[in-house]
């Protein structure tokens, strides 16, 4: 399936706390040239009150990452407006408001999924963000389909309608409820049932808006099936895009399959990806060596552990790139030495292979 009239949100990668930093996004861009990438959630405080070091830590990205979206966490309209302006000045292509995170820490800050209970407040925040952003920088919202065990469609329908009236035209919908008490963030990604039909109903009821489906997607086949115009699903029920989260992280090479299926992009080999990662890591180490928090091999390596998921030698690859002694050398060549397909193994790799064989 190749679609030449696709939405800019046709294929996206999810904002993931503690994971989707700039090194992760660079890898995702290598694997999926057409994907829209999202930062991990950044709260407004560090952007408003932080200095240059804080801004660099939270906002820096590579030019190759475009199109890239900044996800903000907050519930104060003025703070969100200021943070939006900062994100725009840094060159982000989109500013996204998090209305879907159910963690207790986020709830204590009165933002994330609990904001869905106050659609008028979300609308005020979105309006303030829209007012400070140039017209070509969209303000979008990521949200759930309900709170706790309330499964009324009218709840999410009215939320979307209210927020859309404030100027939001793109909604990224995690097709599960958020249970605010009693479930961990991980359980909230697994326990509440998936209800893709709710997203279809939103597409039907708001034909002028863009809806991206998130939640439970684990394969290229699923993504294609949801978007494929040749299926029996009527156009007015199909989402306009899909968002991959944990699947993209734990088996990152699956991004190449989605990319090829949706856009016809030739697939890069894993070895070619690793060569690019070596170049990138060496460049980042050199560029940041005089900073208070210089980039180290371990900062990049942790994001590559899923690159050989399910492949022969994949476990040894992960073990090498997780070994503290090898990482302490801070040598980007470690990525090449860890490749499962090498015909010549150095002294660092052989013990891992011997252990695997035993």
Among this protein's residues, is 101 annotated catalytic?
Answer: yes
106 Cβ partners below 8 Å, 6+ apart?
Answer: 73, 98, 112, 113, 114
> Phi and psi dihedrals of 97, rounded to 5?
-100, 125
164 Cβ partners below 8 Å, 6+ apart?
Answer: 171, 206, 209
Cα torsion angle, 125, 113, 251, 275, sign: positive
> Phi and psi dihedrals of 70, rounded to 5?
-95, 125
Angle of helix 119-132 relative to helix 77-89, nearest 10 degrees, comes to 40
DSSP readout, 298-319? HHHHTTSTTTTTTSTTHHHHHH
Taking alpha carbons only, the member of 58, 74, 47, 64 closest to residue 21 is 58
Taking alpha carbons only, the member of 94, 191, 192 closest to residue 147 is 192
Dihedral (C-alpha) 323, 329, 331, 332: value to the nearest 10 degrees? 20
Q: Is the peptide bond before 63 cis (omega within 30 degrees of 0)?
A: no
Beta partners for 244?
Answer: 13
Beta partners for 173?
Answer: 143, 213
86 Cβ partners below 8 Å, 6+ apart?
Answer: 47, 48, 55, 59
> Distance between CA atoms of 348 and 311, rounded to whole angstroms?
20
101, 114, 168, 254: the active-site residue: 101
Q: Retrieve residue 38's tokens.
A: 């999202």
Taking alpha carbons only, the member of 256, 237, 358, 240 closest to residue 307 is 256
> Which residues are marked as active site?
101
């Amino acid at each position: 399936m190749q679609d030449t009239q696709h939405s800019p949100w046709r294929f996206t990668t999810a904002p993931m706390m503690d994971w989707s930093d700039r090194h992760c996004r660079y890898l995702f861009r290598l694997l999926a040239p057409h994907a829209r990438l999202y930062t991990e959630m950044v709260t407004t405080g560090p952007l408003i009150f932080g200095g240059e070091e804080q801004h660099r830590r939270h906002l820096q990205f590579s030019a190759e990452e475009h199109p890239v979206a900044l996800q903000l966490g907050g519930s104060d309209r003025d703070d969100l407006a200021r943070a939006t302006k900062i994100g725009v000045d840094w060159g982000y292509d989109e500013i996204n408001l998090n209305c879907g995170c159910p963690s207790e820490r986020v709830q204590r800050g009165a933002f994330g999924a609990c904001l869905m209970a106050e659609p008028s407040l979300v609308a005020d925040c979105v309006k303030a963000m829209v007012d400070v952003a140039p017209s070509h920088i969209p303000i979008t919202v990521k949200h759930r389909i309900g709170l706790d065990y309330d499964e009324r469609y009218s709840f999410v329908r009215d939320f979307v309608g209210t927020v859309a009236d404030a100027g939001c035209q793109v909604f990224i919908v995690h097709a599960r409820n958020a249970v605010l008490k009693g479930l961990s963030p991980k359980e909230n990604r697994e326990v509440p049932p998936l209800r893709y039909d709710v997203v279809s109903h939103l597409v039907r009821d708001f034909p002028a808006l863009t809806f991206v489906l998130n939640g439970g997607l684990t394969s290229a086949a699923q993504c294609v099936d949801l978007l494929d115009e040749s299926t029996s699903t009527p156009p007015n029920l199909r989402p306009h895009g899909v968002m991959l989260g944990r699947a993209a992280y734990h088996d990152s090479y699956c991004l190449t399959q989605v990319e090829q299926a949706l856009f016809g992009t030739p697939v890069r080999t894993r070895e070619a990806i690793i060569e690019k990662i070596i170049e990138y890591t060496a460049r980042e180490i050199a560029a940041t060596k005089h900073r208070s928090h210089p980039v180290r091999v371990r900062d990049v390596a942790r994001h590559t552990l899923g690159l050989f998921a399910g492949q022969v030698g994949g476990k040894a690859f992960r073990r090498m790139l997780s070994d503290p002694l090898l990482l302490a050398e801070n040598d980007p060549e470690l990525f090449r030495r860890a490749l499962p397909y090498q015909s010549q193994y150095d002294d660092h790799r052989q013990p891992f292979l011997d252990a695997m064989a035993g």
